Amino acid sequence: MTDPAREDERRELERRAFARDGSGLSAAEAARLSELRRSALPSPVPEEPGASPVPERAVSSVPEYAAVAPRPEPERQDAELPSAVPPGPVREQDGGRPILSRFRARFATFRWTRPRVIVGTAAALLLVGLLIGWGIPRAPVGGLALRDGEDARRDAVLAANDEFDAGSLLLLARQGDALLWTATSARGEVRCLIIDVAPPPAPRPMESDCRPANALQSQPLQAISAPTNVSADSSRALVTYAGYVLISANGVPIGALQRMEYFTQSDRGLTDAEGLAAERIRREQGFAHVALAARWRGLIVWMGYTTQNEQCLVVEDPALRSSCADPTAAPLGLDPQSGDDEPMLSLDLRASGDRPRARIEMWNPVSSAGYIVITEQVPGLFPQRAPSPPAPGERGG
């Protein structure tokens, strides 16, 4: 029968030898653990009835040691471990090979400091890799790769702008039929933005904006392409492209291209003759599109819109006459004083036939939509009032 005290002693020694928080065994403790484990194993051969029992080895057979056995030094501990832990029980199928190998013996008495070393080394290697990757200089972005057909458009941009520095033209964005290019001139001191819209059916001028390169980190380059008609019906769907280019902190150009589509009603409600007249005025004046603003005594008042989003009053009286907003003035509707106290556009008409002299005004208040006012200036239309009689207190005596 197993002695409980010896069993507890064996478990304590095994815990110290194999547990994660174990402190290791001395040579005497390792020998004691081996003895306790052998004594706890059952005998492989059953005892015969007449056989004398094998006497247990007395505890006193353990060699005498000092009261407190000195623990080996840390640098010598690993070298003494193989002889300190005696071989365990032998299994027949393994050919006498011990269960506890040399590696497991070292593992049993090794102090658990190796995981900290491994984790620390891995963290140090990761930090070194990040520093190397951050410190290696990278070439600046060279723009987008050109697709089929874009080589010819690049050559057209270079042909129209021969002042660009050689090799500085880069493609930054593409949207629909438009491409956003950027290039430098004056040896990099000036940077330009170019919006190139696909030319069918007829070539259209490119929109561009150029500024000193050192001023682009605070204010980007920007340009808006001329509106183009993308539908053949009377809805006149118009498309414009807005492009923006700025320079990042490390000197790399960044661009964005936006497609905007809107519809006008300029052709609706027009007769065939009026539609032809609107198209002729648009072509002769270079407007992006023309809309009917008013009809008055057989005369049509047109509103034309330029590629710079300027507005013009246009009439044929009988020659073509127009009045456009000052390009240097504030955009319509942005100035709080514009269009509220005075009209934005005005055009005086001479008397002709049955039409009296008149004045056409376009008002564009901030708080409402724009509207047209036509004032007829007919003599005697507003007759002068007779003088009011004097008040009773003002009559003479």
Each of the 397 residues of the chain gets a pLDDT tens digit; together they read 567 888 888 888 888 877 666 567 788 888 888 888 888 776 665 555 554 555 555 444 444 444 444 555 554 445 454 444 455 554 444 444 555 566 566 555 555 556 777 888 889 999 998 888 777 755 555 688 899 889 999 998 999 888 999 889 999 999 988 999 999 999 888 999 999 988 655 555 678 889 888 887 778 888 887 767 655 444 456 788 889 998 888 788 889 999 887 655 555 667 778 888 888 888 888 887 788 888 888 888 988 877 666 788 899 877 888 888 754 444 443 444 445 678 888 888 888 878 888 898 988 776 677 788 989 886 655 444 444 454 444 444 3
Residue 46 in any domain: the answer is no
* Claim to verify: residue 126 and residue 7 sit in the same structural domain: yes
Residue 391 in any domain: the answer is no
Residue 366 in any domain: the answer is yes
**Closest to 222 in 3D by CA, of 270, 253, 256:** 256
Q: What is the pLDDT of residue 5?
A: 82
> For the purposes of burial, counting CB atoms within 10 Å of the CB of 184, is it exposed (0-12), middle (13-18) or buried (19 or more)?
buried
Q: What is the pLDDT of residue 171?
A: 93
Contacts of residue 321, Cβ cutoff 8 Å, sequence gap at least 6: 314, 315, 347
pTM: 0.41
Q: What is the pLDDT of residue 385?
A: 46
Query: Domain containing 212: what range?
Result: 150-263
End-of-domain residue from the set 263, 292, 311: 263
* Claim to verify: residue 16 and residue 93 sit in the same structural domain: yes
* Claim to verify: residue 330 and residue 286 sit in the same structural domain: yes
Distance of CA 167 to the CA centre of its chain: 27
Greatest CA separation for the chain: 172
Residue 56 in any domain: the answer is no
* Claim to verify: residue 108 and residue 197 sit in the same structural domain: no
* Claim to verify: residue 177 and residue 221 sit in the same structural domain: yes
Question: At 373, phi and psi to the nearest 5?
Answer: -125, 125
Contacts of residue 337, Cβ cutoff 8 Å, sequence gap at least 6: none
* Claim to verify: residue 192 and residue 259 sit in the same structural domain: yes
Cα 35 to Cα 89: distance, rounded to the nearest angstrom: 11
Q: What is the pLDDT of residue 179?
A: 93
User: CA-based angle 346:350:354, to the nearest 5?
Assistant: 120
Q: What is the pLDDT of residue 108?
A: 56
Give the C-alpha distances (Å, rounded to integers) separating 109 from 12, 65, 245, 264: 14, 21, 68, 88
* Claim to verify: residue 4 and residue 111 sit in the same structural domain: yes
Residue 143 in any domain: the answer is no
* Claim to verify: residue 156 and residue 117 sit in the same structural domain: no
Neighbours of 193 (CB within 10 A): 25
**Token digits for 237?**
């769907």
Residue 287 in any domain: the answer is yes
Residue 251 in any domain: the answer is yes
Contact status, residue 173 vs residue 257, Cβ threshold 8 Å: yes
Assess whether the previous peptide bond of 201 is cis (omega < 30° from 0). Answer: yes
End-of-domain residue from the set 215, 244, 263: 263
Contact status, residue 292 vs residue 278, Cβ threshold 8 Å: yes
Q: What is the pLDDT of residue 345?
A: 87
Q: What is the pLDDT of residue 194?
A: 92
Count of the separate structural domains present in the chain: 3
Q: Which three-class secondary structure string do you get for the chain?
A: CCCHHHHHHHHHHHHHHHCCCCCCCCHHHHHHHHHHHHHHCCCCCCCCCCCCCCCCCCHHHCCCCCCCCCCCCHHHHHHHHHHHCCCCCECHHHCCCECCCHHHHHHHHCCCCHHHHHHHHHHHHHHHHHHHHHHCCCCCCCCCCCCCCHHHHHHHHHHHCCCECCCCCEEEEEECCEEEEEEEECCCCEEEEEEEECCCCCCCCCEEEEEEHHHCCCCCEEEECCCEECCCCCCCEEEEEEEEEEECCCCCEEEEEEEEEEECCCCCCCCHHHHHHHHHHHHHHCCCEEEEEEEECCEEEEEEECCCCCEEEEEECCCEEEEECCCCCCCCCCCCCCCCCCCCEEEEECCECCECCEEEEEECCCCCCCEEEEEECCCCCCCCCCCCCCCHHHCCC
* Claim to verify: residue 190 and residue 285 sit in the same structural domain: no
* Claim to verify: residue 259 and residue 320 sit in the same structural domain: no
Which pairs with CB-CB distance under 8 Å and at least 24 residues apart come from 300-305? 300/274, 301/360, 301/372, 301/374, 302/278, 303/362, 305/227
* Claim to verify: residue 308 and residue 347 sit in the same structural domain: yes
Residue 231 in any domain: the answer is yes
pLDDT in tens, 74-121: 544 454 544 444 555 544 444 445 555 665 665 555 555 567 778 888
Neighbours of 250 (CB within 10 A): 8
* Claim to verify: residue 5 and residue 113 sit in the same structural domain: yes
End-of-domain residue from the set 112, 137, 162: 137
Cα 170 to Cα 192: distance, rounded to the nearest angstrom: 11
